[in-house]
C-alpha cells in the first residue's frame, strides 16, 4: 500500500573530486569526431558555441566560452579554435590546445560589443581553414525535422548557427549541412553515451546539486522569502546547467526568486542544476492535507501516489534494449491525460540540461548502456499543482558496471546503497542496470514544510 512514512533522507557521503578531463579522452573524442565527419562526407566540421550553447564544444575540447562566442573548425588534418578578446587566453584550459593538437586564433568579432576589432575577420579565418567548395557540417545545438520547416525545405540545410557565421560559411563551402545530430542524436550521437570518468563527474555534480536542494528543503519556514530559501541551499560553485528556479502559487514554474514569502497552502517547485545534474522537486507548502485548499483534495491519493508508482515502473524499464517508445507508452498508460504530461518522460543529460531523448511516442531508439538519463516526468494539474522526483541516473550493462567498479569503486558502492534505499525502504523496482547518481533518488516529500514525510510504496 502506498503511504507516507517519516524517515531521514539518506546520506551516503561525499564523492571524491572527479578526474579532470584528460588529453587521452580529448584525443579519443577528436578522433571519433573525425570518423563521424568522414562518414557523413564532410571535409570540415564547424562547431559553434556561446555561453548558453557551449556543450558540444566543451565536450570535445574542455573549453567553453565565458560571455563570448567561439568557433572550432575541424578538418582531416587540422583543428582551429577561434575565440574573442577575453576568451582567447582561457582556451589554454583545453588539453587539446595545451598539447598543440588544436591551434587557436583571435577573432575579435566573437567578442562583446564595442570592444577592439583589430584582428583577422571571421570570413578570412574560414577561407584559410576550409577548402573552397567543400561539403561542410555545421554544429550548433539543435537539428530540425521536415515538419518544422516550410513545405519543400531540406532539413539538412536548416542551420541553427548565427547568420554572421552561416553566411560566410555558405559563401566559402559548396554545401553546408546541419551536423548537430552527429553529437546529440539519442540513437547515434557521440554524446549520447558516456564513459566511466564522465559518470564520476556526473555523480559529483548530482551530489552537489542534491545536497544543496536538501539543505534548502529542510530550511523552509513560513514567512521566509524565496531569496532566503535559495540562500540556504549554499550552492557550491559548479557551473549551472540552467537557471535556479523557485516558484510558489501562481508564479510560473521557471521563475527564480522574486521576493515572495512562504505561506501555507500554496504549491511550489524548485530546482538546482549543475552541468550533468538537475535536481528538482515540487509539492505544497504544507505540513499535511489539512493545509491544502478544498480544490486540492485528493492530492496524495489521486496524484502523488500514482506518480510514485509510475516512477517505480519507469526505473524498472531503464535497461539496455528497451525501446524509448515503450517507456513513453507505459508512462501515458499509468498517468493518463489528467496528469498533464506533455514533454518526454525522461531524457539524456550532460553538460547541457537536455541533450535529446530516446523516449517519445513510437520511438524505436533503444535505451543503451552509457546513457545518462534524467528522470524528468513533469505532471501538471490546475488544482493539484505538481509533484516531482527529478534526479539523474546512468544505464549501465554488466561490462560498464565492472569497469566502474575497477576505476571508481566508491562510486559503485554509493550507487548500490542508493539503489538499496530505493528498493528496500521506498519499495521501488530498481534493476541492476540503473545507477542512481544522487542521494535524493527515490525521495518524494509532498509536504515541503515537513519533508521528513516521504512516500513509500
> Do residue 8 and residue 109 come from a single domain?
no
Helix axes 226-233, 196-219, angle to 10 degrees: 140
Residue 450 makes CB contacts below 8 A (sequence gap 6+) with 286, 287, 288
Q: Give the distance between the most distant pair of CA atoms in the chain.
A: 72
191-241 per-position pLDDT tens digit: 999 999 999 999 999 999 999 999 999 999 999 999 999 999 999 999 999
Structure-derived torsion over alpha carbons of residues 417, 348, 310, 247, reported in degrees to the nearest 10 = 90
Residues 135 and 171 in one domain: yes
pTM of the model: 0.96
Which tens digits make up the pLDDT trace of 260-278? 999 999 999 999 999 999 9
Domain assignment present for residue 264? The answer is no
Residue 131 falls inside a structural domain: yes
Residue 257's CB is within 10 A of a number of other CB atoms, namely 19
* 105 and 9 within one domain: no
Q: Kindly state whether residues 9 and 95 are assigned to the same domain.
A: no
Task: Tell me, letter by letter, the H, E, C secondary structure of 101-155.
Answer: CCEEEECHHHCCCCCCCCCCCHHHHHHHHCCCCCEEEEECCCCCCHHHCCCCCCH
**Residue 442 shares a structural domain with residue 298:** yes
Q: How many domains does the chain have?
A: 2
CA-to-CA dists, residue 81 to 54, 364, 412, angstroms: 13, 37, 37
Q: Which three cell numbers stand for residue 60?
A: 570535445
Task: Kindly report, residue by residue over 378-409, the tens digit of the pLDDT.
Answer: 999 999 999 999 999 999 999 999 999 999 99
Specify whether 327 is located in the same domain as 368. yes
CATH code of the domain containing 55: 3.40.350.10
323 in any annotated domain? yes
DSSP 435: E
Tell whether 74 and 8 lie within a shared domain: no
Residue 211 lies in a domain: no
Residue 283: closest CA among 449, 438, 442: 449
pLDDT digits (tens, 9 = 90+) for 51-100: 999 999 999 999 999 999 999 999 999 999 999 999 999 999 999 999 99
C-alpha span between 377 and 384 (Å, rounded): 16
In a domain, 268, yes or no: no
Q: What is the pLDDT of residue 205?
A: 98
Look at residue 135 and tell me if it is in a domain.
yes
pLDDT value at 119 more than 90: no
Cβ atoms within 10 Å, residue 112: 12
Q: Are residues 110 and 9 in the same domain?
A: no
For residues 316 and 431, membership in a common domain is answered with yes
Q: Residue 234: inside a domain, yes or no? A: no
Structural domain containing residue 47: 41-178
Residues 76 and 9 in one domain: no
450 CB neighbour count, 10 Å cutoff: 15
Same structural domain for residues 290 and 429?
Answer: yes
Q: Which of 143, 178, 213 is the last residue of a domain?
A: 178
Say what the pLDDT of residue 415 is.
98
* Reported confidence tier of residue 118, pLDDT bands at 50, 70, 90: confident
376 φ/ψ angles, rounded to the nearest 5 degrees = -120, 75
pLDDT, position 203 = 98
Closest CA to 409 of 21, 15, 22: 15
| Dist. CA 386–CA 405, nearest whole Å | 37
Q: Same domain, yes or no, for 359 and 411? A: yes
- Domain membership of residue 305 (yes or no) is yes
Among the three residues 178, 210, 241, which one is the final residue of a domain in this structure?
A: 178
Q: What is the spatial distance between Cα 347 and Cα 377, in angstroms, rounded to a whole number?
A: 9
Amino acid at each position: 500500500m502506498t503511504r507516507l512514512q517519516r524517515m531521514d533522507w539518506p546520506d551516503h557521503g561525499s564523492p571524491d573530486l572527479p578526474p579532470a578531463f584528460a588529453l587521452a579522452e580529448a584525443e579519443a573524442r577528436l578522433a571519433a569526431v573525425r570518423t563521424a565527419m568522414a562518414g557523413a562526407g564532410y571535409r570540415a566540421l564547424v562547431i559553434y558555441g556561446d555561453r548558453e550553447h557551449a556543450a558540444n564544444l566543451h565536450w570535445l575540447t574542455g573549453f567553453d566560452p565565458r560571455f563570448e562566442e567561439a568557433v572550432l573548425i575541424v578538418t582531416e588534418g587540422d583543428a582551429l579554435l577561434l575565440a574573442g578578446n577575453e576568451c582567447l587566453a582561457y582556451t589554454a584550459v583545453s588539453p587539446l590546445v595545451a598539447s598543440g593538437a588544436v591551434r587557436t586564433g583571435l577573432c575579435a568579432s566573437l567578442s562583446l560589443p564595442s570592444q577592439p576589432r583589430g584582428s583577422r575577420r571571421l570570413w578570412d579565418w574560414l577561407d584559410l581553414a576550409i577548402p573552397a567548395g567543400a561539403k561542410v557540417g555545421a554544429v550548433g545545438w539543435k537539428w530540425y525535422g521536415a515538419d518544422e520547416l516550410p513545405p519543400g525545405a531540406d532539413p539538412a540545410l536548416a542551420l541553427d548557427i548565427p547568420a554572421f557565421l552561416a553566411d560566410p560559411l555558405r559563401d566559402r563551402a559548396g554545401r553546408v549541412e546541419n551536423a548537430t545530430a552527429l553529437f546529440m542524436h539519442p540513437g547515434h550521437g557521440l554524446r549520447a553515451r558516456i564513459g566511466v570518468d564522465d559518470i564520476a563527474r556526473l555523480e559529483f555534480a548530482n551530489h552537489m546539486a542534491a545536497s544543496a536542494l536538501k539543505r534548502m528543503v529542510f530550511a523552509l519556514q513560513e514567512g521566509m522569502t524565496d531569496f532566503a530559501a535559495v540562500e540556504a541551499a549554499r550552492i557550491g560553485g559548479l557551473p549551472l546547467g540552467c537557471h535556479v528556479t523557485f516558484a510558489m502559487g501562481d508564479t510560473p514554474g521557471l521563475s527564480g526568486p522574486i521576493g515572495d514569502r512562504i505561506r501555507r497552502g500554496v504549491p511550489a517547485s524548485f530546482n538546482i542544476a549543475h552541468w550533468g545534474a538537475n535536481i528538482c522537486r515540487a509539492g505544497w507548502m504544507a505540513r499535511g492535507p489539512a493545509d491544502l485548499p478544498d480544490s486540492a483534495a485528493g492530492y496524495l491519493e489521486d496524484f502523488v501516489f500514482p506518480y510514485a508508482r509510475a516512477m517505480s515502473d519507469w526505473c524498472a524499464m531503464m535497461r539496455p534494449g528497451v525501446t524509448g517508445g515503450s517507456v513513453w507508452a507505459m508512462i501515458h498508460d499509468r498517468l493518463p491525460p489528467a496528469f498533464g504530461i506533455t514533454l518526454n518522460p525522461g531524457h539524456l543529460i550532460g553538460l547541457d540540461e537536455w541533450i535529446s531523448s530516446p523516449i517519445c511516442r513510437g520511438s524505436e531508439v533503444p535505451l543503451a548502456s552509457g546513457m545518462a538519463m534524467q528522470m524528468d516526468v513533469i505532471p501538471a494539474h490546475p488544482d493539484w499543482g505538481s509533484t516531482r522526483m527529478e534526479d539523474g541516473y546512468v544505464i549501465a550493462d554488466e561490462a560498464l558496471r565492472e569497469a566502474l567498479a575497477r576505476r571508481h569503486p566508491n562510486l559503485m558502492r554509493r550507487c548500490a546503497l542508493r539503489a538499496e534505499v530505493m528498493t528496500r525502504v521506498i519499495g521501488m523496482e530498481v534493476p541492476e542496470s540503473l545507477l542512481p547518481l544522487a542521494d535524493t533518488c527515490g525521495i518524494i516529500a509532498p509536504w515541503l514544510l515537513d519533508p521528513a514525510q516521504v512516500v513509500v510504496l
